[in-house]
Amino acid sequence: MYDTPALREQFPILQTTVQGKPLIYLDSAATSQKPREVIESMNRYYYESNANVHRGIHTLSERATQAYEGVRKKVVRFINASSVREIIYTRNTTEGINLLANTWGRATLTSKDAVLITGMEHHSNIVPWQILQQQLGFELRHVPVTDGGELDLDALPRLLDSKVKLFSFVHVSNVLGTINPVEMLVRQAHEVGALVHIDGAQSVPHMPVDVQALGCDFLSFSSHKMCGPTGFGIFWGRRELLQEMPPFFGGGDMISVVSLEQGSTWAELPHKFEAGTPSIAEAIGLGAAIDFLSELGMDNVRQHEIELTTYAMEALSEVPGIRFLGPLDPHKKGGVATFTLEGVHPHDIAATLDEQGIAIRAGHHCAQPLHERFGIPASARASFYLYNEPSEVDALVVGLRKAQALYAL
């Protein structure tokens, strides 16, 4: 395991204060903080190598291209992909899912087909399918969620039939923390001939993810939740599938030949899906984040979160009137504790905690259907990452009691 206090020193923002109090950042599921090396890798690029990629035959452009393209190899190793051709650069998870819907989805789906999602999806894995459904008229089904916050697997046989062409589901729920049984779900989907897309926004940053071991066909995730910069993400797909898919955005860099008379042909993978000048510094920042995470070891990151979540669930259980959403067992969930507190609105919880320098999330966390399922408009979520410590959980508990004293009595 690693030394958390020493690790925290690598995150400049964790040394700062908010509202005059030392910052306690428990909102990493929304976005993670960034270590110095990630920030400096981007600065270095701007100071020393800034140039457009792929185009220039000059030293800076070649240097920028090498750094930018080199990140693909790091991503390949990080998720155990087969080739850099499978690694598509996007802006975030949301863009990855929209890419899938608008390329594979638009080219494949008809009114006779169905797409299966689940009742615990982030809006980014609901809305792109709804938009496409309105245009193509396929059926959009979802796997219901149990009272315990897990997928209702008993419902799967009636939902997963040969009409389903894609099963797209979240690996780790951003609200419940539930870790879904990916391998088993992939096997069942493949048995009926459906492809599988995994929303890895909350899994890739927190645990080892091996696309070949999972057996999935597509995976999307965001750099900003894994110590990297905002505005950058990865869409991974099996090469033979990507090869067949039409492009997403059109423009420079994604073409082979453009002719006004004969039309255009597309560049080889992965560039077919990457139109226009990309986020170069951000790619380099993600590369530095992957180096940082790889050095720590993703098994260690996961272990740290299990230990901290175990501590948090025990400590939070002592707060009167707390009701958790999702599994209680830290081995069955990611590093989140999502709850309601009797008599205190989640926004009042968050505002009271903020006065004590504690950042948590309150609201529907871009998962309105899931909150509807549990009959509540909003919840409060504390989410942990590799830099959080038990003393921060203690401060959270004190803060919650304060909120209760202020609002509930």
Closest CA to 120 of 269, 336, 405: 336
Residues 200-259 that bind ligand PLP (CB under 6 A): 201-202, 222
Selected binder of ligand PLP within 28, 94, 118, 279 (CB under 6 A) = 94
SS3 47: helix
The whole-angstrom separation of Cα 55 and Cα 64 is 10
- The answer to whether residues 178 and 336 touch, using CB atoms and an 8 Å cutoff, is no
Q: Is residue 41 near ligand PLP by the rule CB under 6 A? A: no
Helix axis angle, 390-407 to 298-317, nearest 10°: 30
Closest CA to 218 of 144, 179, 167: 167
Selected binder of ligand PLP within 49, 118, 133, 174 (CB under 6 A) = 174
Instruction: Using CB atoms within 10 Å of the CB of residue 273, give its burial: 0 to 12 exposed, 13 to 18 middle, 19+ buried.
Output: buried
Total chain residues near ligand PLP (CB under 6 A)? 11
Q: Is residue 279 near ligand PLP by the rule CB under 6 A? A: no
Site string for ligand PLP, 357-386 (x = CB under 6 A): ------------------------------
The smaller minimum CB distance to ligand PLP, of residues 127 and 351, is found at 127
- The answer to whether residues 225 and 205 touch, using CB atoms and an 8 Å cutoff, is yes
- The answer to whether residues 151 and 167 touch, using CB atoms and an 8 Å cutoff, is no
The span of 194-202, 234-242, 251-259, 336-344 binding ligand PLP (CB under 6 A) equals 194-202
The smaller minimum CB distance to ligand PLP, of residues 175 and 194, is found at 175
Helix axis angle, 280-296 to 36-44, nearest 10°: 150
Q: Is residue 32 near ligand PLP by the rule CB under 6 A? A: no
Catalytic residue set: 366
Residue with tokens 């909003």: 378
- Whole-angstrom CA distances from 306 to 178, 284, 386 are 13, 30, 10
Q: Is residue 33 near ligand PLP by the rule CB under 6 A? A: no
Q: C-beta of 223: minimal distance to ligand PLP in Å?
A: 8
* DSSP 8-state code for residue 267: P
The smaller minimum CB distance to ligand PLP, of residues 123 and 402, is found at 123
Q: Is residue 116 near ligand PLP by the rule CB under 6 A? A: no
Q: C-beta of 373: minimal distance to ligand PLP in Å?
A: 16
Q: Is residue 28 near ligand PLP by the rule CB under 6 A? A: no
Residue with tokens 């492009």: 247
The span of 89-97, 147-155, 183-191, 210-218 binding ligand PLP (CB under 6 A) equals 89-97
Q: In the complex, which residues of this chain contact ligand PLP (CB under 6 A)?
A: 92-94, 122, 124, 170, 174, 199, 201-202, 222
